[in-house]
């Protein structure tokens, strides 16, 4: 019935007439069941409730962004500390951080220095995040991806 009361097995014509008398719709809830389960309710209101629940679930989910920090192999200590502070802030907010180290001109012959910078970052961010992609060279760029530590 319209008040949520269970009626039991009813012929489809009887169910449709009860729904029409109540001014509501006959909605099939579980078509796979034998016999199929139906409810008498306002279909527009039902769809509105489903949409509302879907929107609530969407609000609660967190979208993880990838923030990028660009470095050079000859980075100075203060610049390094500023980038590290930004990375800690991003990781604390639940975002991933991609470190991109760009080699310009002759700097490409100092790949070990660039790798040392990324390994130092990895060591300094151990408490804030874990490395998801180890440092690797791609052309004139060396990159590393660090993700936040997920609390369980």
* Structural domain span for residue 30: 12-60
82 with 137, same domain? yes
pLDDT of res. 96: 94
Task: Mark the ranges of the chain whose per-residue pLDDT is less than 70.
Answer: 1-4, 151-152
Mark whether 144 and 73 lie in a shared domain. Answer: yes
Domain contains 2: no
Q: Are residues 26 and 85 in the same domain?
A: no
Q: How many separate domains does the chain show?
A: 2
In a domain, 84, yes or no: yes
Backbone angles phi, psi at 141, to 5 degrees: -120, 145
The pLDDT value recorded for residue 90 is: 93
Contact 92, 128 (CB under 8 A): yes
123 with 82, same domain?
yes
pLDDT reported for residue 35: 84
């Amino acid at each position: 019935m319209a008040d949520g009361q269970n009626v039991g097995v009813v012929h489809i014509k009887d169910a449709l007439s009860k729904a029409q008398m109540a001014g509501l719709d006959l909605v099939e809830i579980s078509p796979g069941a034998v016999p199929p389960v139906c409810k008498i309710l306002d279909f527009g209101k039902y769809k509105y409730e489903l949409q509302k629940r879907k929107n609530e679930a969407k609000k609660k989910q967190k979208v993880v962004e990838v923030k990028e920090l660009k470095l050079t192999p000859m980075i100075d200590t203060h610049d390094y500390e500023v980038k590290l502070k930004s990375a800690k802030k991003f990781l604390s907010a639940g975002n991933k951080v991609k470190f991109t180290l760009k080699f310009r001109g002759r700097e490409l012959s100092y790949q070990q220095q660039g790798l040392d910078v990324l390994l130092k970052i990895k060591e300094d961010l151990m408490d804030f995040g874990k490395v998801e992609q180890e440092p690797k060279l791609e052309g004139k760029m060396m990159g590393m991806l660090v993700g936040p530590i997920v609390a369980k």
